[in-house]
Amino acid sequence: MVSGQAGVGKTALAVHAARTLTPYYPDGQFFVDLGGFSAVSQPRDPVNVIGDLIATLGVHRNDVPEGLDARSMLFRGLIADKKMIIVLDNVQTLEQVRPFMPGEETCLAIITSRNRLTGLITTYQALPLPLSTFTNGEAQDYLSKRLVERAVHRQDIPLLAEIASLCDKLPLALSTVVAKAVYRSELSLSAVAEELRESEDPFSFLNDPDPSVDLKTVLSCSYRSLGSLPAGLLSRLSWSDKSSTDVIEAGGLMNVASSVARSALLSLVEASLIEEIQPGHYTVGRLIRASARLLLESGPARSLHTSGTPSGASEGETSSHSRGSHNTRD
């Protein structure tokens, strides 16, 4: 169960693992993108996806039963005596993956999600693999290897370190820098660093015309799927000067009791939007803050920032400060 923020390398890892483990699973592999956090499409309906898999396993389309339960049972039966890998990529909920879970241990399911999906651990004894961004060294190595035609020299290392840091050491952000540099030979490393450092909107540089890899679009998909309280807290954190917070401070930002703030923080951790660096202490990446800020500027959630109270906080959940009642999220 590979979890982590958008662009951290979950799909890349799942594909690499499936490829590496091929000798142990000689009967084949399925790769299914369930589209849980897609900028361009809705999450895929498991009933259709499993129908396709059954057909791929040799069952005539006319013989594929209707209904998810019947399809799931047939699918499990078909793979029961096989050694296969099933990659379920971009999953949003436990319910989305349940029908595909093999009944036998001869098959391996590799699941990726921005959500931690702890239910998978409880129900299927899944092995959790939360992915972090690159370390400083990995990010710099990545840049210098991919920018090989720039002939990166020793004296460039501080610039690489700065670019890595301004990109939150996020693989997708670093790949975007590389893609820009490839086509703009006049763009020096110092110009890249300057663009990223000086611009209020890092996505004016870190962008791509393809929404499936455009960083702001990709990040904002996680933001949009949040409930009202965590979304309200993320809004406030994104406008705050600080990149870290704790329960007390978060409660103050939201005008809610600490227990409510804690639950909102946990939801943000669950969605891989913030990280708990020490018990009770959380940090928010620069790019996530920037994307949340931009979304607020253009979206209905702006009222979350300007009002006294996040939408969705019930009477009992709020403190005694003055409150608004914007219902901008579901």
Q: Which residues bind Mg ion (CB under 5 A)?
A: 11
Count of residues in the chain:
330
Report in angstroms how near the CB of residue 204 gets to Mg ion at its nearest. Answer: 24
Helices vs strands, H then E, count in the chain: 15, 8
Which 171-190 positions form the footprint of ligand ADP (CB under 6 A)? 171-172, 175
Which 189-248 positions form the footprint of ligand ADP (CB under 6 A)? none
Angle at 154 between CA 138 and CA 198, to 5 degrees: 70
Q: Which residue is nearest to ligand ADP (CB)?
A: 9
Residue number with CB closer to ligand ADP (100 or 142): 142
Q: How far is CA 248 from CA 12, 254, 258, 280, in A?
A: 37, 10, 6, 9
Beta-carbon neighbour count of residue 64 at 10 Å? Answer: 17
Contact flags string 131-150 toward ligand ADP, x per CB under 6 A: -----------x--------
Q: Is 11 in the site for ligand ADP (CB under 6 A)?
A: yes
Pairing, β 274-278 against β 281-284: antiparallel
Residue number with CB closer to Mg ion (5 or 311): 5
Report in angstroms how near the CB of residue 134 gets to ligand ADP at its nearest. Answer: 7
- Find all residues with CB under 8 Å of 151, minimum gap 6, and list them: none
Report in angstroms how near the CB of residue 173 gets to ligand ADP at its nearest. Answer: 9
Report the distance separating Cα 274 and Cα 133, nearest Å.
12
Match 């500027």 to its residue by tokens: 297
φ/ψ of 184, rounded to 5, equals: -125, 85
Residue number with CB closer to Mg ion (11 or 244): 11
Contacts with ligand ADP by CB under 6 A: the residue count is: 12
Report the distance separating Cα 271 and Cα 91, nearest Å.
12
Report in angstroms how near the CB of residue 254 gets to Mg ion at its nearest. Answer: 31
Q: Which does 240 bind (CB under 5 to 8 A by kind): ligand ADP, Mg ion, none?
A: none
Report the distance separating Cα 191 and Cα 197, nearest Å.
10
Residue number with CB closer to Mg ion (8 or 264): 8
Residues that bind ligand ADP (CB under 6 A): 4, 6-12, 142, 171-172, 175
